[in-house]
Amino acid sequence: MSASYASANLTEVGQRPPLGRYLAEAWRRRSFGFELARYKLASSLLQNRLGVLWLILRPLSMVLIYGAIFHFVLSGPARPASFVPFLIVGVFTFEFFTGCFGAGSKAITGNAKLVQSLGFPRILLPVSVVVEQAMRMIPVVALLGILMLVFGEPISWSWLLLIPILAVMSVFNLGVALIVARLSTHARDVQQAIPIINRVLFYVTGIFFSIDGALANYPTLLAIAHWIPTYDFVSLARSVLLSSYTAPAIAWVAAGTWALVTIVVGTVFFWQAEARYGLSD
């Protein structure tokens, strides 16, 4: 019976195809992922009166809150030079990760009816999440450049390096989204843990204080911190935008390594459960 199905070019519903064919099919239908991302972004903005302004008001409000609080709290080596620009770059870059991380965990469970109704490579759902978050970053990056000038940062050709840094970060974010998307189909508790993980990463990344200054007397902890992926990407963004900041050399290696390892592991891990996603609630 299966032989007759094959001769008729028919496949079993929910069957997991070979990885190469799966990725080729996902690429062939890539427009679906981009259109889904565009639709979700537009629909989320239309629900708010301020619309697209929320793309910049959310991170900007966080900068104002954290800046007002920690401006008076931080002192000594933990206080970075050019504190406000340092904070702005950290918050804006970290928001890109948290958006992909949180929305990625709901890529399958939040689209259960779509998954159960239509046949397409499910990997396109996490892809659409990262594409949507990348679209949200476009006005944020523009605002980031304006704020750097407002706070006295000299314009530099190095600013252009922010684009490839964010591109590599997108690859890392996609790998993370693929992993948590599958995990969430098995245990919804993963979605409850994500805000906690984000809060921990917020502090160990050094969004509002200098990790290098705070851990200067603890070389082992500092070496570990230099391999935290969010720290690496935030450090690289600060390094190309801020004249007073230089990222540790290892960050350039670590960021690329994290992106490569995470996307490979995430793709294979997600693909292995392809046949089970249609059974998700």
188: CB partners within 8 A, 6+ apart: 109
Q: Which tokens hold the place of 157?
A: 């050709």
Distance of CA 212 to the CA centre of its chain: 24
pLDDT of amino acid 70: 55
Cβ-based burial of 252 (10 A; exposed 0-12, middle 13-18, buried ≥19): middle
Q: Global pTM?
A: 0.82
Q: Which of 65-79, 161-175, 215-229 is least confident?
A: 65-79
How many percent of the chain have pLDDT more than 70?
A: 79
Mean pLDDT of 83-92: 87
pLDDT of 98 > 70? The answer is yes
pLDDT of 66 > 50? The answer is yes
Residue 89 counted as domain residue:
yes
Q: Which tokens hold the place of 168?
A: 């590599």
Length of the chain: 281
Residue 78 counted as domain residue:
yes
Cβ-based burial of 220 (10 A; exposed 0-12, middle 13-18, buried ≥19): exposed
Residue 11 counted as domain residue:
no
pLDDT tens figures, 216-254: 888 898 899 899 999 999 999 999 999 888 899 999 999
Distance in angstroms (rounded) separating the CA atoms of residues 128 and 43 = 14
Distance of CA 166 to the CA centre of its chain: 9
pLDDT of amino acid 131: 92
Average pLDDT over the chain, rounded to whole?
A: 81
pLDDT of 72 > 70? The answer is no
Q: How sure is the predictor about 9, in pLDDT bands with cuts at 50, 70 and 90?
A: very low
pLDDT of 8 > 60? The answer is no
Higher pLDDT among residues 223 and 116, named by residue: 223
pLDDT of amino acid 5: 40
Q: Which tokens hold the place of 156?
A: 């530099």
Distance in angstroms (rounded) separating the CA atoms of residues 183 and 197 = 15
Contact of 62 with 224, CB cutoff 8 Å: no
Residue 122 counted as domain residue:
yes
**Which of 24-38, 56-70, 142-156, 186-200 has the largest mean confidence?**
142-156
pLDDT of amino acid 73: 46
pLDDT of amino acid 23: 86
Residue 194 counted as domain residue:
yes
Distance in angstroms (rounded) separating the CA atoms of residues 22 and 274 = 10
Residue 64 counted as domain residue:
yes
Distance in angstroms (rounded) separating the CA atoms of residues 64 and 277 = 41
Domain count, the chain: 1
Residue 46 counted as domain residue:
yes
Q: How sure is the predictor about 79, in pLDDT bands with cuts at 50, 70 and 90?
A: low
Residue 225 phi, psi (nearest 5): -60, -35
Quote the domain boundaries for residue 83. 18-279
Q: How sure is the predictor about 280, in pLDDT bands with cuts at 50, 70 and 90?
A: very low
Residue 106 counted as domain residue:
yes
Higher pLDDT among residues 7 and 123, named by residue: 123
Mean pLDDT of 134-142: 88
75: CB partners within 8 A, 6+ apart: none
pLDDT of 47 > 60? The answer is no
